[in-house]
Amino acid sequence: MTLTATSSNLIPADLQSAKIDSHRPLLIVDVDEVLALFMAGFQRFVERHGFEMRLTKFALFQNIYAKGEDNHIDMLVGKTLFDDFFMSGGKDMDPAPGAADALANLSNQAGIVILTNAPEHGRDERARWLKRHGMDYPLVINSGLKGPAAANLAARTQKASAFIDDLLPNLSSVAADAPQVKTFQMVADPRLRPLAPSDPDNHTRIDDWTLLHPALEQHFT
């Protein structure tokens, strides 16, 4: 990630170049399992490479097996598949139902920034995927917990902000670093929904864009 030095800290270039209108609400939204059916796409990709996925945990590599094996693949094999998927696997991945329409609609009311933890080498593939599926909004590539990036973005508007992610650590991180941001948890893959840790007292859980859309509209009104 390119870093730009300022007097007090280092701000990633993506954050600096994201234009935020201080007079509009702001939606900060994750990609994998929110806008994109990541696990289903990754499953197709690993199966084309001779592996199989048995979805029993809210985890990644621990669900992937060499065909017929009892033990899941090791981290190194998993990391290679993961890196290759982000480099070239976009065609295997479908958008979450209703996501593009909801964002298009919400963009009349709020600014939209996509905040993803895709690896930097997957930037072009990710940008192409978003464009192909009608979600061509400012893209911020993050690494690690999302609280600092969300706080940076949300501090630039006087209006309401919201953040959507599937992962509880990211939601907790945003709640801690930017408590004015309303947090929503969404898990797009129905198979992962019962496996995903959640904290509904602190982060509103809505797994369907047809329901999440009106909740966001209401929050921004």
In the complex, minimum distance from the CB of residue 187 to Mg ion, in angstroms, rounded to a whole number: 9
Give ∠ CA 156-137-148 in degrees, rounded to 5: 40
Question: CA 212, CA 219: separation in Å to the nearest integer?
Answer: 11
Question: CA 34, CA 137: separation in Å to the nearest integer?
Answer: 15
| Sign of CA pseudo-dihedral 155, 160, 165, 169 | positive
In the complex, minimum distance from the CB of residue 148 to Mg ion, in angstroms, rounded to a whole number: 17
Decide if residue 30 touches Mg ion (CB under 5 A): yes
Binding string, 146-185, against Mg ion, x = CB under 5 A? Answer: --------------------x-------------------
Considering CB under 5 A, how many residues would be counted as binding Mg ion? 4
Q: Which stretch binds Mg ion (CB under 5 A): 5-13, 25-33, 79-87, 137-145?
A: 25-33
CA 160 and chain centroid, separation:
20
Burial of 54 (0-12, 13-18, 19+ CB in 10 A): exposed
In the complex, minimum distance from the CB of residue 37 to Mg ion, in angstroms, rounded to a whole number: 11
In the complex, minimum distance from the CB of residue 142 to Mg ion, in angstroms, rounded to a whole number: 11
Question: CA 49, CA 52: separation in Å to the nearest integer?
Answer: 9
- Region 31-60 residues binding Mg ion, contact defined as CB under 5 A: 32-33
Site residues, Mg ion (CB under 5 A): 30, 32-33, 166
